[in-house]
Amino acid sequence: MLERAQTVRLMIFDVDGVMTDGGLYYTDSGEELKAFNALDGHGLKMLKQSGVQLAIISGRKSKLVEHRARNLGIDHLVQGAHDKRASFEALIAELGFTPEQCGFMGDDVIDLPVMRRVHFAIAVPDSPTLVRQHAHYVTGARGGHGAVREACEVIMQAQGTLDAQLAPYLA
């Protein structure tokens, strides 16, 4: 598993159920709300600082996700992706990556076409059995509760960059 994580140069994340707990929250006026985990956010920032590019491919479309991506410095955002594999193929062609240089973290069957294509597929523990069966790594933490941070740390550990990212906090 760590050998697969070593090759990741572009890490792509789904949103609902991965970066959030998967719940869809609406106000009385119909405004959508999502809860993101601060630990996940810092993990994403460290992963980016370690040299791995970040992207989001989401089947849903939300202004909240745009704001979160911008806040985290995630430059590559694809929303409303009903065919995630086609969105993935277009993204890597645009950025000049091969599937062997990519990782993807998802939680549901809509993510399987990308998970089966990338070199390092990650799922959360509350994913359906079929999704977990196609993952190279299943996090211990649930989506929206530190799973993204865990995935980021696994990649940095495999690439030998985790200690350097943590060093400023231990000085």
**Residue 14 is assigned to a ligand binding site:** yes
Helix (H, G, I), strand (E, B) or coil at 152: helix
First to last CA, the chain: 31
96: left (phi over 0), alpha (psi -120 to 50) or beta: left
**Residue 21 is assigned to a ligand binding site:** no
Instruction: Give the contacts of 70 (CB within 8 A, at least 6 positions apart).
Output: none
**Residue 126 is assigned to a ligand binding site:** no
Copy the structure tokens of residue 9.
């140069």
Helix (H, G, I), strand (E, B) or coil at 144: coil
Q: What share of the chain is helix, strand, coil (3-state, %, to 5)?
A: 45, 15, 40
Binding site per annotation, positions for substrate: 16
Instruction: Give binding residues for Mg(2+) as ranges.
Output: 14, 107
Annotated binding site: 14, 16, 107
